[in-house]
Structure 1
Amino acid sequence: MTVSLVYKVVRKLLSIPRVLLRREATKDAELLVLRHENAVLRRQISGRVRHEPFDRFWLAALSGLIPRHRWR
């Protein structure tokens, strides 16, 4: 319950720049996602990629700032 509430608050806070600066926020969010994925991969070079709960939380929160057609 608490994690769900925190997640919703973070999503709302991250959506503010999307309204104000749509293109700039999208580009920055995409860069943050890629940097975070890169950090996860560097931690686990030898094996399968395993996202920790915080990794999933961060990627899910930032994914709302990236338009669906850019996810590929």
Structure 2
Amino acid sequence: MREEGQWTLTDSGGHRRTTAPYDVRIYHAEEFAPLCRTAGFTDVRLYGGWDGAQPYHDDSPCLIAVATL
């Protein structure tokens, strides 16, 4: 999956300073963990939140990877 959009940067007064496009590849857990291993990471663990309290599930609000290099 990909997400494309445009950043708009503003100054402290809210005036537009510049814009820049972005294009981000979004990985699913089944894709991301093997990519980490291929890159040389071991003990790849995926969590569904920043506190690491819950393992990653499809309905998790985010995907957090913790691994050893």
Greater helix fraction, Structure 1 or Structure 2: 1
Task: Considering fraction of residues, name the structure with more strand.
Answer: 2
Greater radius of gyration (CA): 2
Q: Shorter-chain TM-score: what band?
A: under 0.3
After TM superposition, the score normalised by the length of structure 1 is 0.24
RCO greater where, 1 or 2, for CA within 8 Å and sep 6 or more? 1
